[in-house]
């Protein structure tokens, strides 16, 4: 029998490694900037063109490399950061695997220029697809400059899987922020397509956050600080009333390394309790200092997932610390937040959970409502709802739906009756609009049909109607915008601003009149008519949150994603009690739609109950 096992050539092995380490242009930015930080740089310039597909250039004033190291650094598993296996459990640097540079040169054209402080000349190395083309002396300042061009030039299948420039740049932007937030002592600049995006001087942590988010964030931050014998916790959380409906401003760092940790996120979110709605996300920038021996960062190539030996203890410390910070804020505006005394945990017992502090808060405090919610009788859910004055916009939204529905779909009651009959599979039955219709639990509409009755999930039906309407707006006929008397200024997180810029044309087709104003700010001149009385900032944030979730969970086009997200967010906002006329209108519009059975989210919209089945249940 012949041998079948062989050792892969280095160029193939490096391309396989590149698939794990370098997933997109943002991965290159992350690896190179982290190397600059580890090299002791105090100033780092990041230059991007075409979202990194054409050029990624990282310049720093770090320690630089010798002529030998400038060539050796591109070999696989070549690193200066660990010498033995024990070093893996005592890490104080960001990179340590020695795979990043080898992976980058395997799939790009790379030029390295570097010089150490005590060297008269620097070294220039040019590589293409792991092959060294040239190594020559060069003149330059102390530090290192990496130019990465034509990413994935020799792996076209990988290049074809890259997203649009806006999406790829948003990933680069996020990697930049994860480093800039934790290294406030380093000056950073970020250029994209020759435009200066950030110019961040060295400063304090709070000022770095303010420099990125804008001056309005300065008064929204509450400091967090706690020292224990297991972990030191510091950073800032956002005041409860500024919680948003979109993710994006939740940052956890361990020993100056960004991490993702759903368990600790839960510790922070649960500390806010009921003072923010369940649909909102708190803002936080939390920094852990912990003995490297108590964590393992070598469990994932991107090093964003970490194992902790004392996870439950840290959860308790974090939860109690956040609760105390929130409680101090809630006690009054006269507190000096810059000098909050930490909780006295004394010595935290091993395998124990610290006792939570007792915090006095205003039980009725809700920053999102200026007045108490109207209470209703438990019998109100089962009564026919009459039209009320000052309703929350249902009349407008139904008028708008009817205006934007094709005329042939609502030309006569006969069309609606025919559609209803097809849904119910009844040859002789007809839907009589004058028959009883009512709602229960503020969620379901029950309507009488000839052979029984039908139960309709109101929110799912609304989502279906709006989805098909918004698809038409994006594909055929843009929706008119209702001009605002006074334009509004809207401020978003950097990540959400990137998405809005990518969706500007589509948002305007949906009836928003929105334009960029710089520094993550937008001017809103108009809104869809049915949203005139709504909070525009909150509506767009909810839309963005649904849109981002769909990017992760659903493989659908941008148009379908946006229509789905907007229909879902508007449908939830309008899920209130309806008048009898509005219920009749909703039923008619539902069964004139293309897919009345199922909502875009996959929820069942209606269930039909035969009269004979009901009779049998009581026989």
Domain locations along the chain? 10-202, 206-339, 379-619
Q: 565 vs 49, which has greater pLDDT? A: 49
* DSSP SS3 for 617: helix
Residue 412: count of CB within 10 angstroms of its CB: 9
Do residues 361 and 327 lie in contact, with contact meaning Cβ atoms separated by under 8 Å?
Answer: yes
SS3 content of the chain, % helix, strand, coil (to 5): 40, 20, 40
Q: Residue 89: which pLDDT band, with cuts at 50, 70 and 90?
A: low
Nearest to 172 by CA among 19, 21, 30, 22: 30
Mean pLDDT lowest for which of 29-38, 424-433, 603-612? 424-433
- Judge whether residue 193 has pLDDT over 90: yes
Nearest to 545 by CA among 519, 572, 511, 510: 572
- Overall average pLDDT of the 76-83 stretch: 60
CA distance 248 to 296: 25
How far from 36 is each of 29, 41, 45, 84, 93, CA to CA, in Å?
11, 6, 10, 23, 11
CA distance 47 to 56: 6
- Overall average pLDDT of the 392-409 stretch: 47
Mean pLDDT lowest for which of 2-6, 161-165, 321-325? 2-6
For tokens 């709605």, name the residue. 277
Residue 55: count of CB within 10 angstroms of its CB: 17
CA distance 394 to 574: 7
Give residue 34's region: left, alpha or beta (phi > 0; psi -120 to 50).
alpha
Buried b (16+ CB within 10 A) or exposed e, 236-264: bbbbbebbbbbebbbbbbbbebbbebeeb
CA distance 501 to 519: 12
Buried b (16+ CB within 10 A) or exposed e, 569-588: bbbebbbebbbeebbbbbbb
pLDDT of residue 222: 93
Q: Residue 395: which pLDDT band, with cuts at 50, 70 and 90?
A: very low
Is the four-CA dihedral 382, 388, 393, 398 of positive or negative sign?
A: positive
The overall pTM is greater than 0.75: no
Q: Which residues are registered as beta bridge partners of 110?
A: 127, 148
Return the biggest CA–CA distance within the chain: 100
Q: Residue 583: which pLDDT band, with cuts at 50, 70 and 90?
A: confident
Question: Of 3.30.450.20, 3.40.50.970, 3.40.50.1860, 3.30.230.10, which CATH number belongs to 206-339?
Answer: 3.30.230.10
Question: Of 3.50.50.60, 3.40.50.920, 3.30.930.10, 3.30.565.10, which CATH number belongs to 10-202?
Answer: 3.30.565.10
CA distance 511 to 481: 4
* DSSP SS3 for 418: helix
**Residue 467 contacts by C-beta under 8 Å, 6 or more apart in sequence?**
563, 564, 567, 599, 600
pLDDT of residue 240: 86
Question: Of 3.40.50.150, 3.40.640.10, 3.30.450.40, 3.30.1370.100, which CATH number belongs to 379-619?
Answer: 3.30.1370.100
For the chain, the residue count is: 619
pLDDT in tens, 438-474: 777 778 888 877 778 888 888 888 889 988 888 888 8
pLDDT in tens, 196-207: 999 999 999 999
Residue 597: count of CB within 10 angstroms of its CB: 12
> Over pLDDT 70: what percentage of the chain?
73
How far from 499 is each of 170, 502, 506, CA to CA, in Å?
8, 5, 11
Phi, psi angles (nearest 5°) of residue 453: -150, 160
Q: Residue 402: which pLDDT band, with cuts at 50, 70 and 90?
A: very low
- Judge whether residue 158 has pLDDT over 80: yes
The pair of three-digit structure tokens given for residue 98, joined into one six-digit string? 């020695």
Bridge pairing between strands 122-128 and 131-138? antiparallel
């Amino acid at each position: 029998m012949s041998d079948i096992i062989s050792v892969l050539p280095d160029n193939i092995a490096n391309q396989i490694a590149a698939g794990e380490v370098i997933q997109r242009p943002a991965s290159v930015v992350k690896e190179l900037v982290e190397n600059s930080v580890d090299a002791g740089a105090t100033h780092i310039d990041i230059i991007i063109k075409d979202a990194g597909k054409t050029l990624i250039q990282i310049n720093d004033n770090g320690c630089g490399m010798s002529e030998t190291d400038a060539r050796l650094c591109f070999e696989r598993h070549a690193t200066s950061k660990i010498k033995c296996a024990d070093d893996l459990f005592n890490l104080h640097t960001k990179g340590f695997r020695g795979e990043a540079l080898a992976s980058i040169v395997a799939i790009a054209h790379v030029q390295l220029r570097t010089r150490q402080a005590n060297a008269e000349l620097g070294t220039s190395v040019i590589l293409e697809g792991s092959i060294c083309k040239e190594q020559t002396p060069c003149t330059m300042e102390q530090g290192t400059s990496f130019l990465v061009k034509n990413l994935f030039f020799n792996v076209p299948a990988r290049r074809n899987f890259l997203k649009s420039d806006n999406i790829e740049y948003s990933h680069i932007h996020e990697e930049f922020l994860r480093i800039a937030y934790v290294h406030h002592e380093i000056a950073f600049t970020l250029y994209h397509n020759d435009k200066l995006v950030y110019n961040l001087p060295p400063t304090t942590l709070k000022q770095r956050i303010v420099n990125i988010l804008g001056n309005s964030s300065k008064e929204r931050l509450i400091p967090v600080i706690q020292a224990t014998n297991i972990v030191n916790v510091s950073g800032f959380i956002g005041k409860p009333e500024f919680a948003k409906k979109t993710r994006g401003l939740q940052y956890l760092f361990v020993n100056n390394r960004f991490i993702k940790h759903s368990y600790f996120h839960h510790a922070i979110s649960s500390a806010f309790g009921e003072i923010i709605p369940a649909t909102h996300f708190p803002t936080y920038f939390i920094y852990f200092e912990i003995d490297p021996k108590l964590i393992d960062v070598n469990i994932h190539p991107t090093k964003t997932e970490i194992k902790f030996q004392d996870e439950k203890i840290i959860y308790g410390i974090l939860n109690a610390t956040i609760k105390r910070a929130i409680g101090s804020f809630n006690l009054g505006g006269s507190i000096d937040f810059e000098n909050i005394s930490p909780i006295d945990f004394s010595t935290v017992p091993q395998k124990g959970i610290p006792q939570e502090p007792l915090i006095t808060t205003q039980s009725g405090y809700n920053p999102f409502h200026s007045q108490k919610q109207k209470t209703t009788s438990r019998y109100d859910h089962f009564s026919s709802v009459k039209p009320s004055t000052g309703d929350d916009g249902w009349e407008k939204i139904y008028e708008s739906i009817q205006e934007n529905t094709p005329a042939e779909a609502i030309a006569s009651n006969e069309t609606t009756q025919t559609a209803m009959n097809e849904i119910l599979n009844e040859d002789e039955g007809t839907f009589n609009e004058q028959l009883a219709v009512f709602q229960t639990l503020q969620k379901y509409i029950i309507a009488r049909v000839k052979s029984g009755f039908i139960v309709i999930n109101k929110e799912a039906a609304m989502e279906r109607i709006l989805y098909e309407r918004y698809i038409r707006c994006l594909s055929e006929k843009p929706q008119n915008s209702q001009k605002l008397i006074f334009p509004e200024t809207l401020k978003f997180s950097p990540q959400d601003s990137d998405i809005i810029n990518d969706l500007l044309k589509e948002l305007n087709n949906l009836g928003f009149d929105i334009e960029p104003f710089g520094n993550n700010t937008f001017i809103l001149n108009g809104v869809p008519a049915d949203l005139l009385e709504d909070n525009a900032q909150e509506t767009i944030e909810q839309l963005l949150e649904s849109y981002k979730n769909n990017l992760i969970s659903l493989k659908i086009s941008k148009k379908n994603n946006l229509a789905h997200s907007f229909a879902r967010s508007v449908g939830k906002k309008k899920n209130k009690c309806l008048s009898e006329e509005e219920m009749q209108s909703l039923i008619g519009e539902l069964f004139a739609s293309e897919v009345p059975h199922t909502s875009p989210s996959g929820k069942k919209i209606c269930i039909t109950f035969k009269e004979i089945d009901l009779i049998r249940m009581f026989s």
